């Protein structure tokens, strides 16, 4: 009887992993679709070629701003009312927003709807990672979170192929439609056992102020954020702005942002698997993140110093840069493991979205440096700065591999 119950429990956990993985798959599709169809959609609604980079940064920053706000909203909901509430509510919001994006006619409305979509997109990964982490044995949870991210980032590949086969408006409709279909699959999902136990106590839950009222807790949180800083600069600037960077480098061919994003996300999926496996083998998540920083620095420098770069070389480097930023799931897992059950969803949801939101000041500083020194020197400076901060912050965090998560923040 106990073996049967054990098998049933295992099946429930694997079902949960599958649901979280597919949710993140749709989330990533909708998250990167703007970067892939930016030029096509801007051309269609009449944005001049000279304004593509600036207007693109505006829309992307609106989306990132929504992620920043949404991270706070969904994180609090996740700790106060449950992880499943976040998984249902967030996907409904961003699915409807992406459908609405298919009807836009100007940049301002485009940006506003991406802001709303960003709020919805903020909840998926953190809630999924928290739910999986709390439902699996501590020695194996790295495999679960690895699979969620690995399956999820393949959504970027689908986004590219859909954008190639159909127009940009249809690409948004497909993303929204997949999200609404996923809601049906989530019926029957179960809540985290650790959250249920906590919910029966009178301890404070989901109070984001707790992150700022204790010096040690605040330092821990800031260091969690900082280890993820290079990820979105690589994807949001080095790859997304490939056409502009290629022009600055005297590229022989026009560099394709859409293909670059697809290649980057293919290998992010591979990188997430490798990072998860290496973390299990090395019994250390910190060592894996450090190795990833070295890959980011090396591949980015080769890219940004490649005068006369070809499209083939760019795609090869996009592949390698994707491997470097493939510690995304490991970063979120580390963040979740640093905090107690009553703040875990808040941290796991806000951390990745604050990192995404950090692209706003990063692109602002980058823009200033571009005007002062040019595109390539500015990008090199930013990569070295962000990876340097990440490496320092990594040294300030405790190793969380195999850590017991059944505790609360007082």
Q: pLDDT value at position 200?
A: 55
Confidence of residue 138 (pLDDT cuts 50, 70, 90): low
Report whether pLDDT(140) > 50: yes
Cβ neighbours for 155, distance < 8 A, ≥ 6 positions apart: 24, 25, 26, 27, 28, 29, 30, 31, 32, 265
Q: Where are the beta strands (DSSP E) in 166-212?
A: none
- Whole-number Å distance between alpha carbons of 280 and 144: 12
Share of the chain above pLDDT 90, in %: 34
- Collapsed DSSP state (helix, strand, coil) of residue 89: helix
Mean residue pLDDT of the chain comes to: 84
Q: CATH for 10-189+213-396?
A: 1.20.1250.20
pLDDT of 336 reads 84
Instruction: Give the pLDDT confidence of 182-221 residue by residue, as tens digits.
Output: 887 766 555 555 545 555 555 666 677 888 888 889 999 9
pLDDT of 31-73, one tens digit each? 888 988 988 999 999 999 888 878 988 998 899 889 889 888 8
Identify the pLDDT of residue 4. 42
Within 10 Å of residue 103's Cβ, how many Cβ atoms? Answer: 11
Mean of the pLDDT values across residues 348-375? 87
> What would the pLDDT profile of 146-183 be if each residue is shown by its tens digit?
777 777 777 878 888 898 889 999 999 999 999 888 88
| pLDDT tops 70 at residue 103 | yes
pLDDT of residue 194: 52
From CA 115, how far away is CA 310, in angstroms rounded? Answer: 35
What is the rounded CA–CA span in Å between residue 205 and residue 103? 40
pLDDT tens profile 282-323: 889 999 999 999 999 999 999 999 999 999 999 999 989 989
What is the token pair recorded at 257?
């942002």
Element (H, E) at 274: helix 257-282
What is the Cα–Cα distance from 87 to 20, expressed in whole angstroms? Answer: 8
How far apart, in whole angstroms, are the C-alpha atoms of residue 280 and residue 278?
Answer: 5
Given a contact cutoff of 8 angstroms between Cβ atoms, the answer to whether 331 and 272 are in contact is: no
Of 227, 265, 225, 240, give the one whose Cα is nearest residue 363: 240
Out of 20-34, 77-91, 302-316, pick the least confident: 77-91
For range 62-88, the mean pLDDT? 83
Confidence of residue 12 (pLDDT cuts 50, 70, 90): confident
Q: Contact 53/318 with Cβ under 8 angstroms?
A: no
């Amino acid at each position: 009887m106990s073996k049967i119950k054990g098998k049933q429990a295992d099946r429930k956990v694997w079902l949960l992993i599958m649901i979280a993985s597919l949710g993140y798959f749709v989330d990533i599709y909708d998250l990167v679709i703007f970067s892939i169809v930016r030029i096509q959609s801007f051309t269609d609604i009449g944005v001049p070629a000279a304004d593509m980079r600036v207007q693109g940064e505006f829309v992307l920053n609106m989306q990132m701003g929504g992620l920043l706000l949404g991270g706070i909203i969904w994180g609090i909901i996740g700790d106060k009312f449950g992880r499943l509430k976040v998984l249902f509510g967030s996907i409904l919001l961003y699915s409807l927003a992406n459908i609405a994006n298919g009807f836009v006619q100007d940049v301002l409305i485009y940006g506003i709807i991406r802001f709303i979509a960003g709020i919805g997109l903020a909840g998926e990964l953190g809630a999924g990672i928290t739910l999986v982490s709390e439902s699996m044995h501590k020695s194996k949870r790295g495999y679960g979170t690895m699979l969620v991210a690995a399956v999820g980032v393949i959504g970027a590949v689908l986004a590219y192929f859909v954008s190639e086969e159909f127009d940009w408006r249809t690409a948004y409709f497909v993303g929204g439609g997949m999200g609404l279909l996923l809601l049906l699959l989530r019926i029957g999902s179960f809540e985290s056992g650790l959250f249920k136990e906590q919910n029966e106590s009178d301890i404070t839950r989901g109070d984001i102020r707790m992150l700022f009222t204790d010096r040690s807790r605040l330092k821990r949180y800031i260091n969690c954020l900082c280890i993820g800083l290079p990820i979105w600069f690589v994807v949001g600037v080095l790859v997304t702005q490939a056409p502009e960077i290629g022009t600055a480098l005297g590229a022989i061919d026009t560099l394709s942002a859409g293909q670059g994003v697809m290649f980057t996300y293919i290998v992010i999926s591979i990188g997430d698997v490798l990072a998860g496996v290496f973390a299990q083998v090395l019994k250390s998540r910190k060592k894996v993140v450090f190795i990833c920083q070295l890959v980011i620095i090396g591949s980015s420098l080769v890219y940004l110093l490649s005068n006369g770069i070809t499209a083939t070389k760019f795609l090869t480097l996009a592949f390698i840069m994707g491997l470097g930023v493939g510690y995304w799931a490991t970063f979120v897992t580390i963040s979740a493991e640093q905090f107690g059950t009553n703040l875990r969803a808040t941290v796991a949801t806000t951390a990745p979205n604050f990192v995404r939101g950090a692209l706003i000041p990063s692109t602002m500083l980058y823009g200033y440096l571009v005007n002062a020194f040019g595109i390539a020197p500015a990008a090199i400076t930013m990569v070295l700065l962000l990876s340097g901060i990440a490496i320092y912050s990594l040294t300030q965090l405790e190793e969380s591999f195999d850590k017991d998560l059944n505790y609360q923040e007082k």
